[in-house]
């Protein structure tokens, strides 16, 4: 069993290490990341999960994906779908492409009744920094509001995307375009006023 689990997750970690959106050098130069990966390779799954979890909290995107996968599969820690969903979304927002598949897979298992819990937690993660003018947090707010909800409020997504775009973020342009194409003019104007008010606080 241990051999099977090791082979299964080794293939996952190889994917993480080879991501074009994640710098291999940055990951391999992070001593704690290397230690966590070594612990996993040596079969010490509990230690690996703890270490990847600590790195995830500190913002390491590859570790966020690894930790989400471990918690989702129940390796090194008991399975916790809600925790796995949160960290897979954090990895997804940080640019880990493989996390898109994982977030969608977990969402399919959890269902709509758990969506609000995730949204509250993600919002609390980003909203404070977003309201202080953190451009990355602003774009993350717009993206998760547009992609994590079954029935997103496009006007709210538009507000955050407009502010993020004004601060130089290009990863929200698809949200701005969608809003411009689909929202009524009166709604767009109201959203633009809200975005302007938020943006004014940063100046």
Could you read off the pLDDT tens digit of each residue along the chain, which spans 203 residues?
A: 444 444 444 444 533 443 333 322 235 567 889 898 888 888 899 999 999 999 999 989 999 999 999 999 999 999 999 999 999 999 999 888 889 999 989 888 887 677 778 888 888 888 888 877 788 888 988 998 898 877 889 999 999 999 999 999 999 999 999 999 999 999 999 999 999 998 887 76
Domain count, the chain: 2
The residue among 57, 76, 110 that closes a domain is 110
Other Cβ atoms less than 10 A from the Cβ of 155: the count is 16
Domain co-membership, 17 together with 100: yes
Domain co-membership, 104 together with 127: no
Q: DSSP state, 78?
A: -
Could you tell me where the DSSP H helices lie in 30-153? 31-41, 45-57, 61-73, 81-93, 98-110, 115-131, 135-147
Could you tell me the residue range of the domain that residue 26 belongs to? 2-110
Look at the block and give the residue holding tokens 């001593």. Answer: 31
- Quick: pLDDT tens for 130-180: 877 788 888 988 998 898 877 889 999 999 999 999 999 999 999 999 999
Domain co-membership, 104 together with 125: no
Domain co-membership, 106 together with 118: no
In order of 74, 81, 96, 114, 147, the CA distances from 110 in angstroms are 16, 7, 21, 6, 16
Domain co-membership, 168 together with 77: no
CA atoms of 146 and 55, how far apart (whole Å)? 27
Residues 81 and 118: beta-carbon distance below 8 Å: no
The residue among 110, 125, 147 that closes a domain is 110
Domain co-membership, 120 together with 85: no
Look at the block and give the residue holding tokens 């819990």. Answer: 117
Q: What is the pLDDT of residue 12?
A: 47
Q: What is the pLDDT of residue 77?
A: 94
Domain co-membership, 101 together with 129: no
Domain co-membership, 74 together with 135: no
Q: DSSP state, 203?
A: -
In order of 59, 133, 146, 162, 179, the CA distances from 49 in angstroms are 15, 33, 30, 38, 40
Domain co-membership, 139 together with 98: no
Domain co-membership, 106 together with 6: yes
Q: What is the pLDDT of residue 13?
A: 52
Domain co-membership, 76 together with 64: yes
The residue among 71, 92, 110 that closes a domain is 110
Domain co-membership, 55 together with 90: yes
Tokens of 179: 């809003």
């Amino acid at each position: 069993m241990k051999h099977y689990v090791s082979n299964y997750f080794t293939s996952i970690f190889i994917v993480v290490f080879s991501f074009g959106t994640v710098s291999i050098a940055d990951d391999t130069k992070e001593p704690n990341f290397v230690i966590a990966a070594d612990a996993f390779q040596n079969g010490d799954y509990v230690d690996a999960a703890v270490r990847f979890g600590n790195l995830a909290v500190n913002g390491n995107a590859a570790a966020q994906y690894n930790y989400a996968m471990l918690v989702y599969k129940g390796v090194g820690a008991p399975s916790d779908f809600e925790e796995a969903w949160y960290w897979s979304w954090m990895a997804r927002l940080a640019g880990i492409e493989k996390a898109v598949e994982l977030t969608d897979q977990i969402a399919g298992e959890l269902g709509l009744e758990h969506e609000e819990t995730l949204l509250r937690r993600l919002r609390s993660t980003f909203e404070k920094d977003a309201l202080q003018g953190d451009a990355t947090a602003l774009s993350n707010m717009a993206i998760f509001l547009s992609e994590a909800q079954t029935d997103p409020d496009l006007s709210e997504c538009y507000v955050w995307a407009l502010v993020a775009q004004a601060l130089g973020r290009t990863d929200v342009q698809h949200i701005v375009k969608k809003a411009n194409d689909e929202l009524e003019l009166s709604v767009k104007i109201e959203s633009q006023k809200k975005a302007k008010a938020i943006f004014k606080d940063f100046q």
